[in-house]
Chain A
Amino acid sequence: MSVPPAVRRLVLPEGTEFATGEAMTLAFAYFTVGLSVAVLHVTDGTSPLVMLGSIFIVNAVTPTLAYAAVTASGGSMIAGVFSGWLVSTRFGLFAAAIAPRLWPSRRTRAAAAHVMFDPNVAMSHREETDENARRVFVASSFWLVVPWWVGGSIGVLIADQLGDPKVLGLDALFPATLLAIVWPQLRQRDSLVMALLAGVVALALVGPAPGGVPVLVAATASLLALSGTR
């Protein structure tokens, strides 16, 4: 099977940190994440059509999970939606962080906003130049979003046959993928300190604060960069 060179350059940008192995990992991880999230919601009673809509329209993993967690533990629908919004505040912060490095046009950035997930923003951000950040954003978004949509759709179809995704350890995929992506950056002392602080703060707030708040508060560890010398 031959791939046109123009397409190849678009999805595997040469001269960047984004390698073929990472593309495959991203695709595999988000395919399985899509699969497990769809199975989880459908076996929880969500109609297959609604789940399919959610995969494309909400286009995020954690908000629907937060909603399900809140309502399953007796919370109202409004509390569930609010919790879903709260866990997605991080996407707003991500978007603000990566926006200056992407396109100058606000309209283009608004369109790109729909596909801003955790890994593709982090991967684009590793690039030294804004030009490469933009190229990696396009490529990594492709390798993330398409498998997520396909995996989610398949999950909706086979939810009845597939058992508990936890048996396959699939719930460890998401944190492991994110960890592998940011690991190279943790070799920098400033980043390591901020990351550790953020992790500890987030865990300290689990329980007392509603879902989403721990991440939001932990993100303030970024303010340490104000005093950095880099």
Chain B
Amino acid sequence: MLTWGVVFALAVGVYGQRALGAVAVDTNRVGARWRRVLDALPITIIAAVVALQTFSASGELTVDARVAGVGAAAICAWRRLPMMVTVLVAAAVTAGLRAWS
């Protein structure tokens, strides 16, 4: 259950980290090699988030209907289907499997 105190504490931490990242980097002084590392960050972070959101829940490894849903989304993305189709298929497969089992 969230309270105002918790919301403010979370907000300070979340915005603080966002702002720190956004202003701490001196855009002109990042060398080419480190620029490549910064460039790679979004893909590794998103890969980690996707893996966790697919295979874990509440801090434990879990295999449930989501795995099938995200798997179906991967197939759609691989077949270059529109993003909206990909996302809807993921939800539909997940919901369908839950209704069926």
Interface centre among B6, B25, B40 (most CB of A within 10 A): B40
Cross-chain contact of B21 among A57, A96, A173, A175 (Cβ < 8 A): A96
Contact between B47 and A50, CB atoms less than 8 A apart:
no
Chain A interface residue count, CB cutoff 8 Å, equals 106
Check if A5 is an interface residue, CB within 8 A of chain B.
no
Contact between A88 and B7, CB atoms less than 8 A apart:
no
Contact between B33 and A172, CB atoms less than 8 A apart:
no
B19 → A minimal CB distance (Å) = 4
User: Which stretch, A7-15, A97-105, A146-154, touches the partner chain B?
Assistant: A97-105
B17 → A minimal CB distance (Å) = 4
Contact between A199 and B50, CB atoms less than 8 A apart:
yes
Cross-chain contact of B13 among A81, A95, A125, A185 (Cβ < 8 A): A81
State the main secondary structure of chain B at its contact with A. helix
Chain B interface residue count, CB cutoff 8 Å, equals 76
A73 → B minimal CB distance (Å) = 7
Closest to B76 in A: A180
Cross-chain contact of A88 among B8, B17, B53, B56 (Cβ < 8 A): B17
Expressed in whole angstroms, the Cα–Cα distance for A222 and B40 within the complex equals: 5
Contact between A84 and B14, CB atoms less than 8 A apart:
yes
Cross-chain contact of B14 among A45, A63, A177, A215 (Cβ < 8 A): A63
27 A–B pairs (Cβ distance < 8 Å), ordered by A: A21-B84, A25-B83, A46-B3, A50-B7, A58-B14, A59-B11, A59-B15, A64-B10, A67-B2, A69-B59, A84-B13, A89-B17, A92-B18, A95-B19, A95-B20, A100-B25, A100-B30, A106-B22, A182-B46, A186-B43, A195-B46, A195-B47, A202-B49, A207-B61, A218-B45, A222-B38, A222-B43
